[in-house]
Amino acid sequence: MKRKEKKRVGALLLAFVLLACMLAGCGSSAADSRQIVRIGHNQSTNHPTHIALLAFEEYIESELGDKYDVEVFPSELLGSQNEMVQLTQTGAINFCVASNSLLETFSENYTLFNLPYLFVSSEAYHASMDDESITGPIFESTRQAGFEAVTWLDAGTRNFYTVNTPIETLEDLKGLKIRVQQSPTNVEMMERLGGSATPMGFGEVYTSLQSHIIDGAENNEMALTDNGHGDVCKYYSYDMHQMIPDILIGNNDFLEGLSSEERAIFDEGFALVNQVQREEWVKAVENAKDRAANEQGVTFLYPDTEPFQEACLPMHDEMLEKYPDLAPIYEAIQAYNEMYPAEETQGGSGE
Ligand code: GCU
């Protein structure tokens, strides 16, 4: 059985076991009638996302500890992000963190935040994501699919990194196989930039780089250190093509089953996740850049981003034509872009 199939079978088995456990109430002793709240994500236990979810666990248990026992599962323990979204959808788990990229296959509204060069600065990105008139219609749009977004998490700026080809111009990307996230927008972006898009789950990237199935990938700086990609890829190039948030999603039935007092406490908890994650993110990115340069020997490059932008910008009009309902939200983001123009220095991911 191939590794991918094995993982899928593994996740299905896990879903089955979790479901059986939930029905049988396992994990709680006879005296412990607390409901287990399962949250899955695909990052390590050092990652800002994990630290923020532990703060959530502590907060919920300090307020509602007699009723809920929160358990955080890191490192794809519950499956790949795609699998975890499906587990959240069916209610086999209560929450998971998914990249915005993947959610576009569940609701077209999410396509918007996946557009390359949508935000001109991290300030414009943060202000847009903090504006509920922008995120509201998007976050609610998956209700019919069984889940809802409850907050967003910073995932910095995505840039290309390669095993042995420094990317300084579009020419350099020609013919290279680059891993992208599994979404139509990301595949189109890669094609427009001239590389060959190889969509795959995050957990498979390291081995694929190591075995030369792909020539490179694209992500924030933490992928170099936390996921070890910088052990294989020695060039990281700040073309700044996307700022794609991670999204904490929750199962609808679980959220709707909370009393209004409980929901208010959970909402406080979601706000805490966002706050802690963003604080931790700034430190983590600085750290990752330092470690990648000094311990892994990664060279950071700062190409002229304009040709990259020009190649991708037609995707904005294309999206607006396809989804005209998203135009007012797109315009609201442009207002933040004017308010917070591009930063002078590049490579300030997450600051
Ligand atoms: C980032 C992001 C993850 C995502 C990953 C990827 O690490 O935070 O949510 O899964 O990129 O490229 O797949």
pLDDT 10s digits, 28-68: 555 689 999 999 999 999 999 999 999 999 999 999 999 99
Cβ < 6 A, ligand 1 pocket = 42, 81, 99, 155, 181, 202, 219, 223, 246
DSSP state, residue 34: P
Tell me how far the alpha carbon of residue 158 lies from the centroid of ligand 1, in angstroms.
10
Tell me what pLDDT residue 32 has: 84
Confidence check: pLDDT of 349 > 70: no
- The per-residue DSSP string of 220-281 comes to -THHHHTTSGGGT--EEEEEEEE---EEEEEEHHHHHHS-HHHHHHHHHHHHHHHHHHHHHH
- Residues 6 or more apart in contact with residue 219 via CB below 8 angstroms: 158, 159, 161, 229
Smallest CA separation from ligand 1 atom 4, residue:
99
Lowest mean pLDDT across 30-44, 93-107, 223-237, 315-329 = 30-44
**Residue 343 binned pLDDT confidence (cut-offs 50, 70, 90):** confident
**Centre of ligand 1 from the C-alpha of residue 287, in Å:** 18
Cα(1) to centroid(ligand 1), Å? 26
pTM of the complete model: 0.92
* Better pLDDT: 224 or 1: 224
Q: How far away, in angstroms, is 250 Cα from ligand 1 center?
A: 18
* Helices (runs of H) and strands (runs of E) counted in the chain: 16, 11
Which residue of 202, 227, 244, 247 sits with most ligand 1 atoms within 8 Å of its CB, as the best mutation to test the pocket? 202
Q: Which ligand 1 atom sits nearest the alpha carbon of residue 81?
A: 10
